[in-house]
Amino acid sequence: MLDELETLYTESLAKLDQVDNTAVLETWYHDTLGRKGAVYLLTRQVGQMDPAIRPAFGKRLNEVKSDLQAAYDGRLATLKAAELEATIAGSALDVTLPGRPLPTGGLHIITQTLRDTYRIFGDMGFQVYRSPDVDTDANNFELLNFPPHHPAREMQDSFYTTKPDVILRTHTSAGQIRAMQEYYPEPVRVILPGMCYRNEQITTRSSIQFTQVEGLAVGHNISMADLKGTLTEFARRMFGANRQTRFRASYFPFTEPSAEMDITCFLCESKGCQVCKYTGWLEILGSGMVHPNVLRNGGYDPDVYTGFAFGMGPERIAMLKYGIDDIRQFWGNDLRFLQQF
């Protein structure tokens, strides 16, 4: 019997060595260690065995059983690993093939630019105030300290409507008067985005319609230094922490003192390039302290209140940031343009 066991043991191990795939391995297991396998058949004979040799045989049988099981486990692991390796080896992809395209949408570049300004000024307590595109001459000009035939009106060629004294706003400053009149006597801190219109030739640099964002802060103690600080903060967040600003005296009828703000050119880091015309500076916005007449027209006593205002063009910002060379793209809405942003 013991011989039979030893033969089974060596033959089974020899057979196991020949097994080269998991399917054959399962057959080997079935034949050897399975419920009706060779080892089981020997086990069944233990009861009829001479009691004298039974313990030794039993002990050896258990050893053989566990050795075979271990050999099987090892073989199974090896074969599985080999098979997985083979599967993987045969299933390589050309990872440079393009992915499945998704139909994607997006926001207009100007919406994205406006949101940037909303967020930055929002953090400084400025809230968005919107006013109509079609407004009165009074709100757009007179109350902003542009008397009739004033030279400053020539800077902005207006579109007039068939209704007397009703025009398409030439700037969002028209909303300054509305905001002040609505909020008096509270302090004011608003930004005014919107579409503006000027009767200009449509070229790569000018359009009959353009967006603008203005800002207005009115309170008891608002100074030119606050204006500089606020706008410099904006410039750093909008155009990068390294940006420096420069304020130049300028003229707007509704502010006094007035200033243009330039930032150091972010395209060439002020080394000089075509965009900054080799000056190292980019003109970004116009600003100033709210003119006393404008404060008064908004309901605020200029002896008690001061304020600042500023205005900028999102198209110009986007043109600078992305190197867009034709302002007509913004309202042309060619999807080949819009989907780049």
106 binds other proteins (CB under 8 A): yes
Query: Using an 8 Å Cβ cutoff, are 287 and 231 in contact?
Result: yes
Give CA–CA dist 236/305, Å, rounded.
28
97 binds other proteins (CB under 8 A): yes
Give pairs for 200-208: CB < 8 Å, separation 24+. 200/157, 202/328, 203/327, 204/325, 204/326, 204/327, 204/328, 205/327, 206/327, 207/315, 207/327, 207/328, 207/330, 207/331, 208/159
* Binding region for other proteins (CB under 8 A) out of 33-41, 62-70, 78-86, 164-172: 164-172
340 binds other proteins (CB under 8 A): no
Q: Decide whether 87 or 162 has the Cβ nearer to other proteins.
A: 162
Q: Binders of other proteins among 111-130, rule CB under 8 A?
A: 111, 115, 124-125, 127-130
Cα–Cα–Cα angle for 271, 337, 265, nearest 5°?
A: 15
Q: Binders of other proteins among 289-308, rule CB under 8 A?
A: 289, 291-292, 302-303, 306
Query: Using an 8 Å Cβ cutoff, are 25 and 19 in contact?
Result: yes
Give CA–CA dist 242/267, Å, rounded.
12
Q: Decide whether 3 or 303 has the Cβ nearer to other proteins.
A: 303
Q: Decide whether 50 or 303 has the Cβ nearer to other proteins.
A: 303
Give CA–CA dist 158/161, Å, rounded.
10
Q: Binders of other proteins among 7-66, rule CB under 8 A?
A: none
Q: Decide whether 105 or 323 has the Cβ nearer to other proteins.
A: 105
250 binds other proteins (CB under 8 A): yes
| Least distance CB 275 / other proteins (angstroms) | 16
258 binds other proteins (CB under 8 A): yes
Q: Decide whether 80 or 220 has the Cβ nearer to other proteins.
A: 220
Query: Using an 8 Å Cβ cutoff, are 120 and 235 in contact?
Result: no
Residue selected from 140, 173, 212, 230 as contacting other proteins according to rule CB under 8 A:
230
Site map 192..211 versus other proteins, x via CB under 8 A: ---x-x-xxxx-----xx-x
Residue selected from 136, 172, 264, 297 as contacting other proteins according to rule CB under 8 A:
136
188 binds other proteins (CB under 8 A): yes
Give CA–CA dist 108/316, Å, rounded.
15
Residue selected from 151, 204, 271, 340 as contacting other proteins according to rule CB under 8 A:
151
In 3-state terms, what secondary structure has residue 41?
A: helix
- DSSP assigned state of 214: E
256 binds other proteins (CB under 8 A): yes
Which has the closest alpha carbon to 224: 299, 127, 282, 309? 309
